[in-house]
Amino acid sequence: MEGLFKSFGKGLLYIFVLPFFLLVMAGYAIVGLIAFIFLFFKSIILFFCGRSLDIELPEDKKAKAIIQSAIPASSNPVFNQGNMQQPLPNNIPSSSNPAPMSTPVNVNPHSVEEACFDQNKPVVSENKDEVKPEINNHQVPLQNETIPPVEEKKISPVIVKSNEDVVPPKNNISEEKYSPKRTSLINEPLEENEKKTDDSHDGIDIDFKDF
Amino acid sequence: MLIELIKLTESDKRLIVALLLILILFFVIVGLIGYLIVRVMKWQGKRLDTGVSDVVYSRVITDKKTFSKYAHKKNWIIFYKAARIPVVIMLISSLVLLIRNIIYHDFTYNVFDTTEGFATILFCWDFSHVFEISTSLAFSLVINAPVLINEPHFVLEAWGSYLFVPGITIGGLWYLWCVQSLISRTLRIKKLSESIFDKNLDNFNQNEQLMNSLNVGQKPIAPDDKKVEEPKQKEF
């Protein structure tokens, strides 16, 4: 009933406003027609000057350039797939002078498929004399990257502090399994109350509780 | 006294109630149509955001005046691009009518004529004798049914109006739609230019911030406690 009376009141209001609205609309229609003629002749002149009446103004071009330049620096992995580096876990101290990646990432793909799927594929360096940098112990290697096995070297337990976004690479530290429930990256046996229901113990356990 | 003279019968009361209900229903329908128009205009105005969002996000434009100027410029270009098709339709329709008039040497042609105009393909009634009021002997009101004067039939000479009237109607309505979009975007620009660069001090209190920074209300640390907290220096 309240809605009905509201509609009734609005209807009464619109009846009074309607003549003014029609007046404004007629005014805009006439002004629009004049503007249309003006823009029509302007577009003709621009056409003969070799340009066109583009909807993209100089401000838009400037904005586009700013956005394009900001994309590579963005931390969002959707934007900078080509330049994305593997994020480090929080507890791993980053060295003051971080070593470069052992294999260069193909940042200039030749095809869309290459850009989308072969980002971590190592590019064969043409210069064979180039000195390859040493692998930093603290650096988390990329996927598909092979590291020669280091003898007599124990991987120390690494504790991740509630950073569920950081997913370690699968291939390189295959022994290490990360579980957000356990908040650890170690080979320690599961405790009784933390035992998984899944028998396989493969893959990454993702908890969607906080999503 | 006057109220006593007015005596309504039961049928009169029913008639008044019915008329009131019809009036309320009419205003409710108008209100609903108006609500629909407002919603459509809001939707039309929102389409401006796609065009102007980049310059705002990238901070290319940082003040109200520049934004308003830029957005209005863009608004007119959008209108020009949108109104091209309806204007072309209307122009072609007018050209067809002009050619028809030139062919028949008739520049006093009525496009809605019932003999050679668009009305030949419509039903037409004569409403001039619907209400007949006679006051000769006594007041009487006679309501007659309207007389059908034309049934739809095709006339070859009216081809110009057959093309002109639908074309100008479609083009005109389309153009009015574009004008409504133009008005909606103009209103949106006004709203955005006020909201984007708005510096609102409603929830800001400088004194409150100052007092919070001074930790007012907390117990001051005793000088003895300070001594205890200080680590002892190693003796060499």
- Say if CB A36 and CB B87 are below 8 A apart: yes
User: In this predicted structure, what is the pLDDT of residue B43?
Assistant: 93
- Kindly write down the DSSP assignment for every residue of A128-164, as one continuous string: TTSPPPPPPTTSPPPTT---PPPTT-PPPP----S-T
A29's tokens: 């229609």
Chain B positions touching A4 (Cβ under 8 A) are: 28
Mean per-residue pLDDT pooled into runs of 10, chain B (236 residues): 71 90 92 93 90 87 90 92 94 94 89 88 88 76 85 89 94 95 94 87 82 67 54 52
Amino acid at B153: H
Q: Find, among B27, B20, B37, B23, the residue nearest to A13 by Cα.
A: B27
Chain A positions touching B30 (Cβ under 8 A) are: 10-12, 14-15
Chain B positions touching A60 (Cβ under 8 A) are: 54-55
Residue from the list A7, A53, A63 with its beta carbon closest to the beta carbon of B58: A63
Identify whether B11 is part of a domain.
no
A-B contacts (CB, under 8 Å): 95
What are the backbone dihedrals phi and psi of residue B147, each rounded to the nearest 5 degrees, phi first? -90, 130
A10 min Cα distance to partner chain B (Å): 5
User: In this predicted structure, what is the pLDDT of residue B98?
Assistant: 94
Identify whether B192 is part of a domain.
yes
Chain B positions touching A36 (Cβ under 8 A) are: 79-80, 83, 87
> Is the pTM of the predicted complex or chain greater than 0.80?
no
Q: How far apart are the first and last CA of chain A?
A: 41
Identify whether B155 is part of a domain.
yes
User: In this predicted structure, what is the pLDDT of residue B186?
Assistant: 94
How far is Cα B188 from Cα B53, in angstroms, rounded to an integer? 13
Residue A199 has pLDDT above 60, yes or no: no
How far is Cα B148 from Cα B159, in angstroms, rounded to an integer? 23
Q: Find, among A125, A134, A208, A135, the residue nearest to A172 by Cα.
A: A135
A29 CB within 8 Å of a chain B CB: yes
Among chain B residues, CA nearest to A24: B183
Mutate: best of B22, B28, B177, partner A, most A CBs <10 A: B28
Residue A123 has pLDDT above 50, yes or no: no
User: In this predicted structure, what is the pLDDT of residue B199?
Assistant: 83
H/E stretch holding B128: none
**The residue to which tokens 């620096």 are assigned:** A73
- pLDDT tens-digit profile of A68-106? 887 776 666 555 555 444 444 444 444 444 444 444 444
- Say if CB B171 and CB B87 are below 8 A apart: yes
In Å, the largest CA–CA distance within chain B is 135
Range of the domain at B182: 29-196
Identify whether B40 is part of a domain.
yes
Q: Is B142 helix (H, G, I), strand (E, B) or coil?
A: strand
Identify whether B221 is part of a domain.
no
pLDDT average, residue stretch A101-123: 46
The confidence band for A154, taking pLDDT boundaries of 50, 70 and 90, is: low
B4's tokens: 């006593």
How far is Cα A167 from Cα A205, in angstroms, rounded to an integer? 10
pLDDT average, residue stretch A30-43: 93
A133's tokens: 């940098």
A10 CB within 8 Å of a chain B CB: yes
Query: How much of chain A is in helix, strand and coil states, percent to nearest 5?
Result: 35, 0, 65
Chain A positions touching B70 (Cβ under 8 A) are: 57, 59
State whether A57 and B74 contact (CB < 8 Å): yes
Q: Are strands B140-143 and B131-134 parallel, antiparallel or unpaired?
A: antiparallel
Residue A19 has pLDDT above 60, yes or no: yes
Contacts for B92 with CB less than 8 Å, ≥ 6 apart? B167
- Say if CB A106 and CB A114 are below 8 A apart: yes
The number of domains in chain B is 1
What are the backbone dihedrals phi and psi of residue B124, each rounded to the nearest 5 degrees, phi first? -125, 135
State whether A63 and B54 contact (CB < 8 Å): yes
Q: Find, among A68, A78, A62, the residue nearest to B56 by Cα.
A: A62
Identify whether B212 is part of a domain.
no
How far is Cα B154 from Cα B125, in angstroms, rounded to an integer? 18
Residue A137 has pLDDT above 50, yes or no: no
Q: Is B191 helix (H, G, I), strand (E, B) or coil?
A: helix
Of A55 and A85, the structure prediction assigns the larger pLDDT to: A55
Instruction: Spell out which chain B residues touch chain A, with contact meaning CB-CB distance below 8 angstroms.
Output: 24, 26-35, 51, 54-55, 57-61, 70, 73-74, 76-81, 83, 87, 175-176, 178-180, 182-183
Identify whether B3 is part of a domain.
no
Identify whether B100 is part of a domain.
yes
Residue environment code for A59-68, b if the CB has 16+ CB neighbours within 10 A, otherwise e: bbeebeebee
A34 CB within 8 Å of a chain B CB: no
Residue A148 has pLDDT above 80, yes or no: no
